[in-house]
Structure 1
């Protein structure tokens, strides 16, 4: 593996947690290995590993973008990741208020429902 992949895997584990990454790696097949390598190197090894923003800010922006695009599964995953990034419930709420104004109320409404369900599930686990 490349240095970028190694950095990406370390960052991915720090943000998403070992249990999530281990489960994803266990599901990897020959078909999706190139995709997994791409996102580990590009998203996690390059973008999320850049020094200019801490994980909290990257988390907030990612949540807003995923909510605006209606990417429900990824949104829930990144809300769960806030346990590791330092983004708070208030940060999530503020991001989703921005989504309502800049991307539309229906997108924010759906994202708020997902956020509430995900945050409630996180409370049950802790």
Structure 2
């Protein structure tokens, strides 16, 4: 796959996961300073890692949320909790992920991210409960 094809694939996956509004806002804020970095993210994260067929978007979403929580990357964590609605992950999945974070990365990391997740959910964003997804 050429770099341009990887970029195009990455941008399509990025839009499907994060939503057009988010991507359009990010693209509008892009400057000459960060243009190369933004292209790198689209090609590498979205065009390579998120685009392989071995994991579903739901599984990738759950892994991503766990890693962001464990690493203390709170803004990115909130963004990916919002994105869970588009990946098929549920509130129950998010709860399970954060329990794993508590055990393997520490209770403080999970506790902070539970607060962030509660805020995202209270705003009506993020994943839905399993019964809402299946009905």
Q: TM-score range by the shorter chain?
A: over 0.9
User: Partner residue of 1:40?
Assistant: 42
Structure 1 residue ranges without an equivalent (≥5): none
Structure 1: which 4+ aligned runs deviate by more than 3 Å?
none
Q: Give me the CA root mean square deviation.
A: 0.9
* Distance in 2 of aligned mates of 1:72 and 1:84: 19
Please say if 1:81 is aligned against 2:102. no
Structure 2 residue ranges without an equivalent (≥5): 126-135
**Residues 80 and 118 of structure 1 are in contact (CA less than 8 Å); yes or no, is this contact kept in structure 2?**
yes
Provide TM-score, normalisation by structure 1: 0.95
Q: Give the superposition deviation at 1:122.
A: 2.2
User: Partner residue of 2:95?
Assistant: 93
* Distance in 1 of aligned mates of 2:39 and 2:121: 29
* Distance in 2 of aligned mates of 1:76 and 1:121: 12
User: Partner residue of 1:107?
Assistant: 109
